[in-house]
Amino acid sequence: MVVSDLSAEQHFEEAKELMINDQFDLALENYNSAIEKCEKNSSNQLYSYFVGRSQAFIKLKRFTEAVKDADSAISINSNDSRAFLKKGIAQFYIDQFEIALATLEEGFQKAEKESERNSFNDWMNKCKQEIKPSQNTSVIQNQEAPTVQQPPSIKHEWYQTESQVTVTLLAKNVQQNDIKIVPQENNLKIESNNTEKYNINLNFNLTHPIIPDQTQIKYLSSKVEIKLKKCEALHWSKLEKSLNDIVVKKTSTIDVIEEKKPDYPTSSRKPKNWDKIAADVAAEEKDEKLEGDAALNKLFKQIYEGGSDEVRKAMNKSFSESGGTVLSTNWTDVGAKKLDVKPPDGMEWRKWD
């Protein structure tokens, strides 16, 4: 929020801080206030305010207004390179490649720092790539037609915190419309919208599920950060699953919720010790030489037949709502909530018509 009793310089400092935090709309409001409150004889300050607001307009994709502010800054001080860089960038984004190149070349001659000259060179090269060979000769005399170069491949890396996984694309000046990023629960897909500019086609089969609609994407000058929200606070040993991770377990897919206590209140006169029942059933199965699912199913049957109404309701509800992936005997735990499907790690649950 813009505070009206701030001075022009305070608005300017606030705007710069907001730009760092990618709050471009609020930054623009503060730049507006700084320009309105600036003293007429403070030309150096006003120059910086116009340059800053031009950058805010670029971030907001209001390129025509960015050019206008850059021109206002140049009219105050034509020996400073900063306004020429902003103007050239804005002209580039409205497809005025030849004009942008001329602007950038003029600003390059005024740049004193190596970092500034590097920025001008980067944007001049972008312009040259967009200008056709026949057009390029009208802007730059005696220059050979540019050779067609393959678009650079984009490298990536990843790291994690307890709640997020961050995938970083290592490329400079990538814009939102240059690439397409599609996060899904178990997948992250990244591909080029402009194959002449970037060469990227990534499809990650994620090790663990994420929450797609909580994905955060930041387009920075040197990289693109994609922050994926973990469904569970698990440590990922790697970003992608491998084929070896997809293992079909021999045991049942039903995940029995571990009970905290062996005895539960029931409607019967005496409480039942389910651990004892399970032990008895296991002994019977051993005598009958049952194995695998047959033994496990008999255990569940024994628990169901010997259980109270609450136990049976809990088993029916948990098994039904979870698609057969969760089984609980604790009605207190499952009675008041809806259970989600929980397939074993490495497997995928599907609903068949």
Backbone angles phi, psi at 227, to 5 degrees: -100, 115
Please classify residue 265 by burial: count the beta carbons closer than 10 Å to its beta carbon, then call 0-12 exposed, 13-18 middle and 19+ buried. exposed
The predicted model gives 101-120 an average pLDDT of 91
**Any idea which of 94-108, 222-236, 249-263 has the lowest mean pLDDT?**
249-263
Q: Cα–chain-centroid distance for residue 188?
A: 9
Say yes or no: do domains 8-139 and 155-245 share a fold.
no
Residue 103 has pLDDT above 80, yes or no: yes
Q: Are 184 and 212 in contact (CB under 8 A)?
A: yes
More confident residue, 336 or 26: 26
Instruction: Decide the pairing of beta strands 326-327 and 255-256.
Output: parallel
Among left, alpha and beta (phi > 0; psi -120 to 50; other), residue 195 is alpha
Q: What is the mean pLDDT of the chain?
A: 79
**Any idea which of 89-93, 237-241, 320-324 has the lowest mean pLDDT?**
320-324
DSSP H helix total and E strand total for the chain: 12, 9
How far is Cα 236 from Cα 102, in angstroms, rounded to an integer? 50
pLDDT at 118: 92
More confident residue, 42 or 353: 42
Residue 169 has pLDDT above 60, yes or no: yes
Radius of gyration of the chain (CA): 32
Residue 335 has pLDDT above 70, yes or no: yes
- Which neighbouring-strand residues pair with 7? none
pLDDT at 347: 66
pLDDT at 313: 84
Domain 155-245 listed as CATH 2.60.40.790: yes
More confident residue, 16 or 143: 16
Residues 220-248 have pLDDT tens digits of: 877 888 999 999 988 888 898 876 655 44
Residues 39-64 have pLDDT tens digits of: 766 788 889 999 999 999 999 999 99
How far is Cα 13 from Cα 115, in angstroms, rounded to an integer? 23
pLDDT at 182: 93
pLDDT at 20: 92
How far is Cα 314 from Cα 178, in angstroms, rounded to an integer? 52
Per-domain residue ranges for the chain?
8-139, 155-245, 255-334
- Which neighbouring-strand residues pair with 206? 240
Residue 189 has pLDDT above 80, yes or no: yes
pLDDT at 351: 60
Q: Is the dihedral of CA 312, 317, 322, 326 positive or negative?
A: negative
Q: How many residues are present in the chain? A: 353
CATH superfamily, region 8-139:
Tetratricopeptide repeat domain (1.25.40.10)
Whether the model pTM is above 0.75:
no
